[in-house]
Amino acid sequence: MWHSLQADFPQQLPLTDFERGPLRPQPGEPVALFHWGAGRIQAVNSAEQQLPAWLEPTFYNPEKHARLVVMGRWKERLLLIRVATPAEAKKEDWPGLRSWLLQASAEEFDLLATAAGLASWDEQHRYCGRCATPTRPRNDEFSRECPRCHLRHYPRVAPCIITLVWREDALLLARSPRFAPGVYSTLAGFIETGESAEQALHREVKEEVGVQVGNLRYLGSQAWPFPHSLMLGYWAEYQGGDIQLEEEEIEDAQWFPLDQLPELPPKKAISRYLIDSFLTWHSGR
């Protein structure tokens, strides 16, 4: 039986001072520009201390900014997204999204996830998927509409499960070839069409490491903009089976005693929250 747990993952609270768009800017209104290109974000040298280094303060100019995506209003400024060409972002060596996320506060993390998701959507839906006509942004919602067949293209959200598997005094952690050297993390995977989150959890754990789990507990979620995932976080208790790796996805997986854990993901990631909260819960049993 589960004991009570105080959930305090930052992403469970709504952003303060943020009104989601789309909103209608007025000429001369204070705005801030988010420059995006192929997963890279421009660093802006700004004297305005209230804004992070990836937002450029300016004033709304209908002639220059009319086609930009309005993300919302934060700290009394509208946030506008400018999608640059991949060549521009690479030529100017803009930092990657992941590097910005690692240095962001919890509030800035959510803003970055929102901006990156909207920028990726706007970048990838310039043409209608049904008839190939150039799409146009709507002003009343986040969508791009085809003027010919009127199909609307909305920002995508891809639900995923992310799971900490545990038994007695040990955690089953794995590493992908994409991880930094020495880092191990929890298991994760996309929810497929027709699946519930729990069905996906059982399938992904079995596919990736070959074990069976039960006694699931949901702990929270996190928007993860690579490119537009929503991570649903669980604990799952080991029920049986030996570790068998899905070698295309998993480089290594091991049972680690609670007092001998390897290098873990950064604290901003929900994978780390699943581990840290489990250690807190386990120590108080």
H or E segment at 274?
Answer: helix 270-283
Sign of the torsion angle spanned by Cα atoms 158, 22, 154, 35: negative
Q: pLDDT value at position 10?
A: 55
Map tokens 């509409």 to a residue.
Answer: 145
pLDDT digits (tens, 9 = 90+) for 202-251: 999 999 999 999 999 999 999 999 889 999 999 999 999 999 999 899 99
Q: Is 164 helix (H, G, I), strand (E, B) or coil?
A: strand
- What gap in Å lies between CA 124 and CA 276, rounded to an integer? 37
- What gap in Å lies between CA 70 and CA 115, rounded to an integer? 10
Q: pLDDT value at position 48?
A: 66
Q: Is 259 helix (H, G, I), strand (E, B) or coil?
A: coil
The answer to whether the beta carbons of residues 125 and 157 sit under 8 Å apart is: no
- What gap in Å lies between CA 74 and CA 78, rounded to an integer? 6
| Fold category of 158-283 in CATH | Nucleoside Triphosphate Pyrophosphohydrolase (3.90.79)
The residues spanned by each domain of the chain are: 10-124, 158-283
Strands 77-83 and 30-37: parallel
**Closest by CA position to 33, among listed 63, 86, 76, 69:** 69
Q: Which residues of the chain have pLDDT under 50?
A: 1-4
